[in-house]
Structures are given as C-alpha cells and as structure tokens.
Amino acid sequence: MERQPLDNNRDRKPIAITCVIGPFFPVPPIQGGAVERINLTLCEEFARQGHSVKIISRMFPGLPRTQVLNGVTHRRVRSWSAPKNRALYRILDLIYAFRVTAALEKSDITITNSVSLPLVLPKAKAGLIYVSVARNPKGQMGIYRRAARLQAVSRHIENAICEQSPNVRHLVKTVPNCLSREFSSAIGTTFGTRRKEILYVGRIAREKGIHLLLRAFNFLSREYPDWKLTIIGPHQPHLGGDGDAFLSELMSLVERNPESVRFLGPIFDEKELIQKMGQAQIFVYPSIAVAGESFGLAPLEAMACGCPVVLSQLECFSDYLKPGINGLTFDHADETGETLAVALSRLIESEELRNKLAVNAIATSREFTPQAVAKLFLDDFRSLLKQHVQSA
C-alpha cells in the first residue's frame, strides 16, 4: 500500500469525536452517574475548543432523540435500566451496541465505555477506537486488540490491565477523570461558616464502607456530641445501591444520638451538592472496594470545594491524594471503625490541620479541571491519529 503523506497541519485541524456512553444511564445525567457527568463535561470542552463532537446515549423519557446542547450533538437510542442479573446485563449491552452501530456517523475517534461496542464497531465509521476503562478489569482487556487505546482512569487501573493482559500493554495509557464544569467553577470559591458536620456522598452500598463510618461516628459522638453526620446517595438497586434491607441495616448501627445522623437520599443537582460540600467541615469516603474503586470522583469534588477529606487506603486514590498534605487516610481493614474515628478526631480537634489540608486540596483540584484533562485527551488523540497516518 502506498504510504500516505503526513499532514503537518493535523494538530490544527478539528477532530471528529464520537463518545458512546454505556446503555443504562441517560445524558445529561438526570439520574446521576459519574461516568456520564465526566464524559459530558469533556465532550462539551472538546466542542468549546472547536472540535466536532457527538454523544450517543440511552433514550430516556423527556429527552429528545436528537438535540444540540452546548455545541455537542446528542443522539439517543433505545435502551433499559441496568438489570441485577449479570448475564442479562451483558446481553442488553450487546443489543445496545448493535443499535449504536446503526446510529453511528463517520468519526476520527470513537470513545466508549461499553463492554461490547469495541468488539463490533465498524472502523470505517468509528475511526480509531478509544476504550475508556473506568472499572477494575477482570482479565477481559485482552479482547480489545482492535482498539487504538485502552484509557485507564488511574494508574491503579493501568497497572491492573497490564498485569492481567500483557498482550495489550502497549495500548494502555492513564488519562484521569476530570471535575465537571460546575465543580471546576467552584474551585477557590469562598463559602460561609462551615458546620460541625461530617459528610459522605456516594452510593449506599456495602462496598462503600458506610458501616465503618457509622461505627466510627458512634465513637466520636461520645466525645463530640455536637457534631453531625450526613449521608447523601441512592440506596435503590437500579441506581447502584444495595436496597432497603441494607439501608435498614445501616440505620440500626446508629447507637447514640440517632438525630445526629441524617440519610438524605440522592442529590443529582450539582449546585446543591457543591453547597453541601461547602458547608461541611469534613468529607469521608470510606470505600472498602479493593477491586471496585477505579478513581473516586466524589472526594476530588469535595477537595475542589475546600472540604478536608479522609479516605481509605485504596491505591486508586493515590493519583490525587497525598496523605498528610491534602487529605488523610485510614486503615479500611479495621472493621471496628476505630482507625477511622482517630483520623476524624484529628481533624475535629485541629482547625489548623483542616485549613492546611483544605488549601492544598484546592490546589490539587486545579489539576483536574475540564480544560486540563481535555488537553491530555486531545494530545493523545492527535498522537494516535498521526501514528495511524504514518502506518497507513
């Protein structure tokens, strides 16, 4: 085949980008979903910088089949809410993938987090296939040899892919998650007086370690009875929670001052979440999901709001957390909650430490703005496209 000349102006040309969101949550993320928020934010930033951007996502009541929002063209195809049965999950994902291929238009790059889609995407329309790996892999990454890139959201995920599937090691690169535009705009904003409140935001699921937080709060409430604990997030299974029985189990762990612990349910409005994070003294993310967490966006959002964070010692948080500098960690293997209580008491007792962590957390969050992370993606897109032209 005749070698195509390298286009030296490629870096200045707009890139045709299609982002295909998985089948189970709508975009805009009116039902929540960190992946959906992150991808929407990045796509709007790509469009703001002059690129041609399309998002394909789940059809949902109240959202039109096609529309243009903030420079991004949205196309929606029929899909479903996530089933609990894993086999059915895979079947529905595959059906969605075939529907997406029918709706796909010609692109330079197609990004997706769908499990099945990278296997069936027609390259003639999709262009380079860019697989976003936002969850811990289970040995399946080796099947994506058609991809131009396996984008890991953290070094933890990158290492897991390389260890499990060394045959695709050359395709792997870490490009982190970004803050949404709302949270990015909140960086450095001055908030009012903060409450004596500890805050958790995330799914109400066993792997999130909320039971450890409640046990820790039982220790704390004896010495600091004027402090409150607020838990925000969905417990419903279709939104990723572990259901009514687990919520009741958590509520039964509250031993003292039950009025000091509030379960507020999910909050999907980002402005309201920013307000909550801006009012709390401490943010806790006590996840025990060693094989489940991939990056952890909620703690980074809290850091952007100037809220000191206490996180479990999971490797995935190390891309942005520096213990003792911009946050604290605790040993999540301690089922009693005592280790977490000690970390929280350090912050409760030291305004100086809280202020130090908050200032450094705000500085860290600036590394994850949409503009900063979009540049990493676009640089990688251009590099891959250039390599593709050179090898053609």
Burial of 163 (0-12, 13-18, 19+ CB in 10 A): exposed
- pTM to 2 decimals? 0.89
One-letter amino acid identity for 36?
E
- Considering the domain delimited by 10-178+369-391, tell me its CATH architecture: 3-Layer(aba) Sandwich (3.40)
> How do strand 72-77 and strand 66-69 relate by DSSP bridges?
antiparallel
Burial of 192 (0-12, 13-18, 19+ CB in 10 A): exposed
Residue range 220-250, pLDDT digits in tens: 998 999 999 999 999 999 888 999 999 999 9
Contact 54, 18 (CB under 8 A): yes
DSSP helix/strand/coil, 266: coil
From first to last of its 392 residues, the chain has per-residue pLDDT tens of 333 444 444 467 999 999 999 999 999 998 888 899 999 999 999 999 999 999 999 999 999 999 999 999 999 999 998 888 889 999 999 999 999 999 999 999 999 999 999 999 999 999 999 999 998 998 899 999 999 999 999 999 999 999 999 999 999 999 999 999 999 999 977 666 899 999 999 999 999 999 999 999 999 998 999 999 999 999 999 888 999 999 999 999 987 678 899 999 999 999 999 999 999 999 999 999 987 889 999 999 999 999 999 999 999 999 999 999 999 999 999 999 999 999 999 999 999 999 999 999 999 999 999 999 999 999 999 999 999 998 87
Cα distance between the two ends of the chain:
8
| CATH class of segment(s) 182-368 | alpha beta
Q: Of 287, 294, 277, nearest to 340 (Cα)? A: 287
Query: Assign residue 19 a region: left if phi > 0, alpha if psi is -120 to 50, beta otherwise?
Result: beta
Annotated domain spans of the chain: 10-178+369-391, 182-368
Burial of 377 (0-12, 13-18, 19+ CB in 10 A): buried
Residues linked to residue 262 through DSSP beta bridges, in sequence order? 230
Write the DSSP symbol of residue 53. Answer: E
Chain CA centroid to CA 313, Å: 18
The predicted pLDDT at position 189 comes to 75
- In this structure, the dihedral spanned by the alpha carbons of residues 274, 276, 278 and 283, taken in order and rounded to 10 degrees, is -110
Contact 200, 168 (CB under 8 A): no
